[in-house]
Amino acid sequence: AHIVNDVWGLRADSNLANIVAKYAVPVILMHNRSNPSNVEVREKLGATYIGAEYENLIEDVKRELLVSVELAHKAGIKKNAIWLDPGIGFGKKREHNLELINRLDEIKKLGYPVLLGTSRKSFIGFTLDLPPEERIEGTSATIAIGIARGADIIRVHDVKEMARVAKMTDALVRENA
């Protein structure tokens, strides 16, 4: 592997951190409070969106990401090999996802590169009342705001279009920064 993208932030498999450290590959640590039942039924519920409960969304996500970072460090994974993913769509309600994107700069302040994966996600569909294949404009908006708030890498389906969105957003918010 060239990179490990762990949707459970090294919390589901106690040996994964050791494997990542052994092979010295970068790791993406995603925040995730999902459980299999809400992952499976989420799209089937229409506008009803199952999400975990949070006392303070941003502080809870930051704290739980830092638990994953600590697991990585304990296994010997170097800081420069760790990326954080706020886990858009994983155990989060529509409102949670919108807030995370708008406040992504607070995740960025943890001192690690941030990956943002919003492409065609359900919260876009619920917001715009559109099926996945018609969510390109919604995805574009989330990518632009995400980059403006500090996202370093984006995970997308529509590569050509989103590369253009990223390039234009970078020109607006990063080139002269």
What is the DSSP pairing of strand 4-6 with strand 153-154? unpaired
If you average pLDDT over residues 89-101, what whole number do you get?
Answer: 95
What are 126-159's pLDDT values in tens digits? 999 999 999 999 999 999 999 999 999 999 999 9
Percentage of the chain exceeding pLDDT 70: 90
Statement: residue 40 has pLDDT above 50: no
Considering the candidates 33, 62, 103, 155, report the single residue annotated as catalytic. 155
Provide the pLDDT for residue 50.
65
DSSP secondary structure letter of residue 114: B
What are 137-146's pLDDT values in tens digits? 999 999 999 9
Statement: residue 83 has pLDDT above 70: yes
* CA distance linking residue 94 with residue 26, whole number of Å: 30
Annotated catalytic, 121? Answer: yes
Provide the pLDDT for residue 170.
96
Domains of the chain (ranges, CATH numbers): 4-173 (3.20.20.20)
Statement: residue 51 has pLDDT above 80: no
Annotated catalytic, 22? Answer: no
**Higher confidence at residue 174 or residue 34?**
174
Please name the residues in contact with 167: beta carbons below 8 A apart, sequence gap of 6 or more.
Answer: none
Provide the pLDDT for residue 35.
66
Considering the candidates 42, 121, 135, 149, report the single residue annotated as catalytic. 121
Cα dihedral sign for 81, 86, 136, 40? positive
